[in-house]
Structures are given as structure tokens and as C-alpha cells.
Amino acid sequence: MVKLKWKKQKQISNKVSVESWSNYSDLICPKIINKFIDQNFLKNNEFLNFLKKIKENWINKLIWGDNLEILQYLLKKFEEKIDLIYIDPPFFTNSEFYHKVFIGTSNKSFKKIAYNDKWNNGIDSYLDFIYERLCLMKKLLSEKGSIYVHVDWHISHYIKLIMDQIFGLENFRNEIIWYYPAASAQTKRFYVRSYDSILFYTKSDDYIFNDDPNIYMDYSKRVKNAVQKDEKGYFYYRGGSHDGKKLSRKVYVEKKGVFPRDVWTKIPYIRANTLEYQGFSTQKPERLLKRIILASSNKNSIIADFFCGTGTTLAVSEKLNRRWIGCDLNWYAINTTIKRLLNLQHSNDILNWDEFYGKFSNSFEVYSFMSDEHKGKIPELFLINNKKTNSKKNEKSNLKINVNRDDNRIKLSLEGYFFPYFKELNKKIRTKISDWKDSIDYFAVDFNYNNNEFVPQWISLRTPKTRKMRFNTGWYYYDKARKNNIDILVKIIDIFGFETTKKVSIILRT
């Protein structure tokens, strides 16, 4: 990734790396490959002009790094520009939370720590952490903006007081209760906990709030069972009595349900057998964010999530035609979000849940405030004798690439991947990896690399629900009149998060 220099300010990185992802050029499925080849869309000049046109407009942004640093950086351009912020921060649980990593096409997997919710200096350090960030978020909110803070019983009472101080008690709108049935009760010493709280505040008294039928709650079972139809439409009888006589009148149903109360039910938490499952233990459901985003933003509003995790807020914003900014400190969360967005067409349609979404995501950029050494890390418990590995310092991973060139077109195949730390894995983990292909999680190719930004035109990846992936690309067409050589950059990310790139140069005959 290229390093871009920014003016150094207090707590602001002087180096930021960026990748641009044009999902219009994504070649995951054969239908898109054929469409682009038939239109000669991937010819070099036309493709570069297309990317230039995209850059003139808004491009969604995913940022890897400490959100305090990122919030300070965003203030330079986005102060009072964001209409909606949703955050799902740590809950002060004093626990560790896990990300499930799947291996190859089998059911084999292992767990890695996704994030640590332990605080060395106790509640004071946590409250300092959240207070500083919420103050900056208020500055980013537009005058018509709203913020939703997702918490639970551990910390909600503290956060409520902080929010009252920062946003003003007069701008508190709701404490939303998200009720979800407990999967199992592990205690008989207190009542089973089965809800989270979402604190809803606004920047001012003039804020966006939409009466959208898609946010409505279902009618009660009594109403549903009583619904009938006549020449005017659907109705039910509402009963009553007067002077001992039973009365009833027709009530016609014009909307899909009732306007939402502040207790939200029938939005289940994420189970492993659901399509939206990403392998993170604290992932939030898309239908929860659907109601928030539809109610508190408009089309083309900027939505932000500064603890984006697996990218639920970003995915729902994308499906609802909102612009978005997301960030997270955990590299696995960023990588999961990238894959989720690139695979968006195979996810649930947010407005018709039983159908596939069927559309590709818009272009987005990935910025990094972190050095690459923070990407891949093997937990010590996966290593022989639990010793720290230093393979990455002594030996580099390597890719074996086969290039097939025919007239004015090129395609590549990935023939091998050497990862030196494999010999340091303990037997339990090593036996789960049958061959080098099992260790590949993501494979992308930029057929026109310009030593500036990585813009993949071909991508293959694994998700928790789609384990198969391709290791040979489609054909890339270039202009026959082209005289300068072609530089191709190949990038893979393995299941441990290590990234390996290789540049392939094609010498053209003049």
C-alpha cells in the first residue's frame, strides 16, 4: 500500500496508507466477467477514465486504526457533516471476545481473540476512553444529526450520564430496549439477562426522523388473526361496549404495522446458521440497523460507525443508498468488512429479507492509520511450545504465479503459497491445514498497477457461508495500441491475517 503524507498534528498520523476499491470492476461472479469482457470495459484507458470519474464524486471510506486519532482527522473535513452516528463500543465486560476463523472448504476452524474488553485502570479508564470519543462525535454530527449508542447493563447507566452532559438532557429522545430471547440460562442466582439498551440522542431539536413504513412493528397476533378483507381493503373489528351492549367497528389497515415503540422485539441476535453471520461473537443484526438508519437519515446522508466490527452498519447503509464512513482498530474486523461488502450481492435484501440483495456495493476506499506489522499475528497458543514466532522477520512469504498471455489479453493463476511460519504452528492447528490453498482467505489482482493505489479488477474470497474460491482469474483485456509495459500486482491474505503481494511485469512488443 502506498504511503501518503499528511501534515502532522497532535495525535494525528503523519503517514496514512490508502487502497481504492472499485467494486464496479469486481469480477467475482462469471456473469460480471462476461458483461465486462463483452463491453471491452476492462480495456486500460476506458477503465482509468472510469475510475477518475468515480473519484470526482463521493467514495465511501473504511478506516483501520484507533478511532480517537481517526475522529480528530475527520474533523478537518467532516465537522457537522454526518447525519447519523451509530456505535457499538466495548461494554466494560472484563472479557475477551472471539472471531471464528474457517479453514479451506471444510468445517475445520479455530478461534482468535477479536478484541479485549479489559481495562487496566478499571472504570475510570473506560469512562475517559468513551468520553473523549463522544465529544468528538458530537462535533462531527450535523445540526439535524442523531447518535445511537448501543450498550448493556454493564455500563448503560454511566453512559447515560455522560451523554446527558455532552449532548444535553433536553436532546435525549429514547432509551431503546432491544429484547432478544436468551439462548440458554446459565444461572439460577439472578434473573436471565436478555436485552441491550440503545441510547438515542440528537444534536438539536430540529433533527431527521422519518415516518417510514419499513420501520414499523408488526401488528399483534390478535389483530393479525382478526384481519379480513372487503371491497375497501383489509380491516379488523375493534370491539367495545356501551350500556351493556357489545359494540364493534371496522378499522382499516393502511400500513404494514404500528409505529415503533421503544421496546424492539422480533429482531433476533445473530446465530451461526444465518446468512449474515460473519464469525464474530458480538455481531449485531442488519434488521436492527435498518430501523435506525431509515428513521434517522435520508438518502445520501453520511452514516458513521466508529466501532464498525463486522461492518453491519456499513452494509445496511449501502443497501439503503446512504453514504458511509466506518473504522475499527482490529484488522480482522476490517478484513471481514471488506469481504462482506464485496460479497454484498449474496446477502439478504434489507427491505425484502427472504430475497437476495443481488446488487454490488458502490466503490469504497480503505485507509490505514496502522503499520502493516499489525495485520498478521499468530496467537502464542497456536505455536509450538507457545513461543513467539519470528519467521516474518527472517523469511518472507512467497507466491507462485502463472501468467497466461494470448494476443491482447492476460489471465493469472495462483499456483502456490509459501508461508514460513507454518513450521512453527503446533500440531493441533497444522493438521487442520491440508495444503497451501486451505490457508488462503482472499486473492485479488490489480491488472493495471500504477505504484500508487491498489485497485483490484479481479477478486476471489471466502466467507463463513461460501468456502470455495477460485485461484485463476478471468481474462483482462488491454489496448492493442498500448506501448508501455503492464505492471500487475497480486495480493493474498491468509487465514492468520498475513498479507503477501507480488508484482508481475508484462513486457509488450513495440
3-state secondary structure of 445: strand
Shared domain check, 240 and 332: no
Selected residue with higher pLDDT from 71 and 19:
71
Region of residue 92 (phi > 0: left; psi between -120 and 50: alpha; otherwise: beta) = left
**Position 46 in a domain:** no
CA distances to 51, 120, 175, 476 from 448, rounded to whole Å, are 12, 48, 51, 10
Shared domain check, 497 and 348: no
3-state secondary structure of 18: strand
How many Å is the Cα radius of gyration of the chain? 26
Q: What share of the chain is helix, strand, coil (3-state, %, to 5)?
A: 25, 30, 40
**Position 70 in a domain:** yes
Shared domain check, 357 and 317: yes
**Position 55 in a domain:** no
Which residues sit opposite 411 in a β-bridge?
A: 404
d(CA 338, CA 342): 6
**Position 234 in a domain:** yes
CATH code, domain carrying 385? 2.60.40.10
Shared domain check, 248 and 266: no
d(CA 269, CA 266): 9
d(CA 371, CA 384): 27
Instruction: Identify the DSSP state of 169.
Output: G
The answer to whether 340 touches 315, Cβ cutoff 8 Å, is yes
Q: Which domain covers residue 495, as residue numbers?
A: 380-506
The answer to whether 464 touches 278, Cβ cutoff 8 Å, is yes
Shared domain check, 278 and 156: yes
CATH code, domain carrying 74? 3.40.50.150
**Position 286 in a domain:** yes
What is the b/e burial string over 91-117, where b = at least 16 CB atoms within 10 angstroms of the residue's CB?
A: bbeeeebbbbbbbbeeeeebebebbeb
**Confidence class for position 437, pLDDT limits 50, 70, 90:** very high
Instruction: Name the domain count of the chain.
Output: 3
* pTM: predicted TM-score of the whole model, two decimal places: 0.85
With 70 as the cut, is the pLDDT of residue 411 above it? yes
C-alpha grid cell for residue 494?
491468509
Angle at 360 between CA 276 and CA 299, to 5 degrees: 90
Shared domain check, 273 and 239: no
Shared domain check, 232 and 193: no
Shared domain check, 478 and 337: no
Shared domain check, 288 and 428: no
Which residues sit opposite 197 in a β-bridge?
A: 151, 177
Quote the pLDDT of residue 243: 61
Query: For 253-303, what is each residue's pLDDT tens digit?
Result: 777 788 999 999 999 999 999 999 999 989 999 999 999 999 999 998 999
Shared domain check, 287 and 194: yes
**Position 237 in a domain:** yes
d(CA 269, CA 284): 7
Average pLDDT, the chain: 83
DSSP sequence for 325-354 = EEEES-HHHHHHHHHHHHTGGGSB-SSSTT
Instruction: Identify the DSSP state of 280.
Output: B
Query: For 314-353, what is each residue's pLDDT tens digit?
Result: 999 999 999 999 999 999 999 999 999 989 999 999 999 9
Mean of the pLDDT values across residues 92-118? 89
Q: Which of 362, 391, 420 is the last residue of a domain?
A: 362
Which residues sit opposite 63 in a β-bridge?
A: 327, 367
Quote the pLDDT of residue 284: 96
**Confidence class for position 226, pLDDT limits 50, 70, 90:** confident
Q: Which of 300, 332, 362 is the last residue of a domain?
A: 362
Shared domain check, 297 and 149: yes
With 50 as the cut, is the pLDDT of residue 26 above it? no
The answer to whether 123 touches 158, Cβ cutoff 8 Å, is yes
**Position 141 in a domain:** yes
**Position 230 in a domain:** yes
Quote the pLDDT of residue 492: 94
**Confidence class for position 17, pLDDT limits 50, 70, 90:** low
d(CA 236, CA 232): 12
Shared domain check, 388 and 343: no
